[in-house]
Structure 1
Amino acid sequence: MSQRERSAAAVAVAVSSSGQAAAADSASSSSSGAPTTAAAGSERWSSAIGNLGELGANVESLQKLLAKKAVFVDDDIFSKASLAADQARTIKVLDQRVQSLERELDAAISAAARARTEKRQAEAAQRAAELRAQEVTKELENTSKVFALHMEELRLKQEEIAKKESDIKVLEAIIRTLSNQEDGGSSE
């Protein structure tokens, strides 16, 4: 007999013996020969019968409970069931771990996708910056070419102005010379 069978049998014996002991106590107290009135005696009998009815109902419900919940197995079957229960718990823990790892993997995949997107955006921004730098460099080159043309034009104008100034100086000198000659010729 296994431990579970022994426990169930002990509970059943205890319940039935407590019911018998209560009935015996009721019978002995009523037959003790003490002077009691008939009404008091009938009250005791009716309460004893009520107690017995309650005990019977309790015994029945306990028997039903034991029939539903108690499983009587031998030690070999119990050890196999325990092993199966342990394996089921282990499988449940492993399943939870697998689900946790799957969530971590999904998070890592999402992070990698975000990193790739950010990398593409950074590369696009770098290409745009390089193109802008090339445009600015071309603008600077064009500006320097325009500036060189303007400088050449200014140098030519300056040379022209310098030539005209020298022409003006020559003309001024001629005018002074002529005016000196007129002044000198008129004073003679």
Structure 2
Amino acid sequence: MAQTQREKSGVAAAATSSSSSADAAGVGPSPSSQVGAGAGASGGDRWGAAIGNLTELGANVESLQKLLEKKAVFVDDDIFSKASLAADQARTIKILDQRVHSLERELDAAISAAARARTEKRQAEAAQRAAELRVQEVTKELENTAKVFKLHMEELRAKQEEIAKKESDIKVLEAIIRTLSSKDDGGSSE
């Protein structure tokens, strides 16, 4: 009785190890070839998929039998439960390790994105400083142009005043000349 129980435990252990090795090797029916995979598949496609599944299942059974013949180990329930726990822990560790690698890749991507953002910020700040310098230059040019314009306006006003003064002097002289010529005309006629 104890030996029968050990044989069952050994077969279960071998089945567990073979299924975990089959899972790791990717052996087993593929999801795409399962029966009823496509809702709109024709009857012939379904039969073909079913036959493919049966063929794969037969290959898996043969592989399991060969594995049991070579590596069957008979253990008691305590050892089997410890081995199952160790296998579960190994799977959990593998999943956690994959998650760590995934998080490391995400962190690297985030660091790269932050570096790009800092570079773009520096470039934007440099462009802003250049634009501010250009604004200062244009403002100085405008101020200088305004000063030059103001000087030209003052010169034009001064010349206009000078011209107005000369015109008034010319009018006075013309009036004097008219007065003198009218006296000369009046004095010569007497």
> Please, what TM-score do these two structures have when normalized by structure 1?
0.64
Report deviation, 1:137: 1.5
Q: Which residue of structure 2 aligns with residue 67 of structure 1?
A: 69
- Once residues 133 and 6 of structure 1 are traced to their aligned partners in structure 2, the CA distance between those partners, rounded to angstroms, is 89
> Please, what TM-score do these two structures have when normalized by structure 2?
0.64
Structure 2 CA distance for partners of 1:4 and 1:136, relative to 1, 3 Å: farther
Counterpart of 1:142, as a letter, is N
Mark the structure with the bigger radius of gyration: 1
Q: Deviations over 1:150-179 (max 9, x none)?
A: 111112111110111111111111121122
- Once residues 149 and 140 of structure 1 are traced to their aligned partners in structure 2, the CA distance between those partners, rounded to angstroms, is 14
Asked if the contact 2:6/2:74 (under 8 Å) is kept, the reply is yes
- Once residues 93 and 136 of structure 1 are traced to their aligned partners in structure 2, the CA distance between those partners, rounded to angstroms, is 63
Report deviation, 1:73: 1.7
Which of 104, 116, 140 is 2:106 aligned to? 104
Gaps of 5+ in 2: 12-63
Q: Which residue of structure 1 aligns with residue 89 of structure 2?
A: 87
- Once residues 71 and 123 of structure 2 are traced to their aligned partners in structure 1, the CA distance between those partners, rounded to angstroms, is 66
Q: Which residue of structure 2 aligns with residue 157 of structure 1?
A: 159
Q: Which residue of structure 2 aligns with residue 77 of structure 1?
A: 79
- Once residues 85 and 92 of structure 1 are traced to their aligned partners in structure 2, the CA distance between those partners, rounded to angstroms, is 10
Q: Which residue of structure 2 aligns with residue 140 of structure 1?
A: 142
- Once residues 98 and 141 of structure 2 are traced to their aligned partners in structure 1, the CA distance between those partners, rounded to angstroms, is 64
Structure 2 CA distance for partners of 1:89 and 1:184, relative to 1, 3 Å: same
Report deviation, 1:185: 2.6
Report deviation, 1:131: 0.6
Q: Provide the aligned length of Structure 1 versus Structure 2.
A: 136
Q: Deviations over 1:53-112 (max 9, x none)?
A: xxxxxxxxx986642142222222211211110011000110111011111101110111
Counterpart of 1:98, as a letter, is V
Q: Which residue of structure 2 aligns with residue 54 of structure 1?
A: none
